Structure 1
């Protein structure tokens, strides 16, 4: 985490969290979801539309800043620590998007290298790899390279249902939906 972020957190410890405004798709792209995008529907899953994605972030320094300050809380909700405020991330598939190189190196969408301990193939043919950082989906442009590593016997994906992975690896796809559900049950 950036030192400037740590300093802001110490200076303003009670800034409210932000939900629904940032999304991460299955290709490692960040999306800013303004009120109109949020009103158009969920970021991913049933009811999602192109309008509900929002605007893709393209500013390289902002993307790098988000990546350096990307983490998960004790509930498995992923967030970007933006100064003193946690901006929770809506995930399309998983908290990590892996890029695979021809030599088998696996690097996250935030630029962090990892190793592979486990592999999963879901009902739609998406390949997930798990390791010390957690679980992530293989970027669609790297599936041909990942297939080489599977064919070589280095990774042996087991079948799974995508809906099983969040519970298995302890992450939340939609912190905003979880927050709404919690608020709804508390108001009863």
Structure 2
């Protein structure tokens, strides 16, 4: 959900407001087409000469789970782009699942989290739930659609450094 903070109080001020939801399909599509990161990991969209930096409450990409024509799992970004291949999965203490790919960091949307977790399995074919019940076990690899990818735990204070983006530029 893109939001506009016309009074400038969306950056952690004591009176931070939720902002106004951007609902225009044309503006949402424009932002999606022009959404990118600079070399410092700050995400923005370019509007002519104006660069509009974006506060990220989750990650640059919000990921949903779909299936391709063959029925294989497919991750897609909030802007409708295919995402991946995933090079690393990260689980934080609050149970959020992050992915790293060439496009940048992604956060699996809450509505699809259970389905993604059900789709992921360990390198030896066991459900990921086995690992989640014993997270002190060694970091392991998981499969999504036949691709083996490492899975690790991510602390909240290491999110930006590990995943390479700045939440509040």
Is 1:63 equivalent to 2:28 in the alignment? Answer: yes
Provide the C-alpha distance between the structure 2 equivalents of 1:105 and 1:40, rounded to a whole number of angstroms.
Answer: 33
- Pick aligned residue for 1:165 from 154, 159, 166: 159
* Aligned residues: CA RMSD: 2.0
Q: What's the TM-score once normalised by structure 2's chain length?
A: 0.75
Provide the C-alpha distance between the structure 1 equivalents of 2:110 and 2:158, rounded to a whole number of angstroms.
Answer: 21
Structure 2 unaligned spans of 5+: 122-126, 128-141, 145-149
Structure 1 unaligned spans of 5+: 1-28, 176-188
- Pick aligned residue for 1:154 from 143, 162, 165: 143
1:135 Cα deviation after fit: 1.0
Higher strand share: 2
Provide the C-alpha distance between the structure 1 equivalents of 2:160 and 2:59, rounded to a whole number of angstroms.
Answer: 8
Higher helix share: 1
Is 1:33 equivalent to 2:5 in the alignment? Answer: yes
Provide the C-alpha distance between the structure 1 equivalents of 2:97 and 2:10, rounded to a whole number of angstroms.
Answer: 29
Match of 1:109 in 2: 78
Q: What's the TM-score once normalised by structure 1's chain length?
A: 0.68
1:79 Cα deviation after fit: 0.3
Matched length = 140
CA contact (8 A) 2:105 2:164 kept: no
Q: 1:124 to 1:70 in 2, by over 3 A?
A: same
Provide the C-alpha distance between the structure 1 equivalents of 2:49 and 2:114, rounded to a whole number of angstroms.
Answer: 41
Match of 1:80 in 2: 45
Match of 1:129 in 2: 99
Q: Give SS of 1:75's match.
A: coil
CA contact (8 A) 2:89 2:152 kept: yes
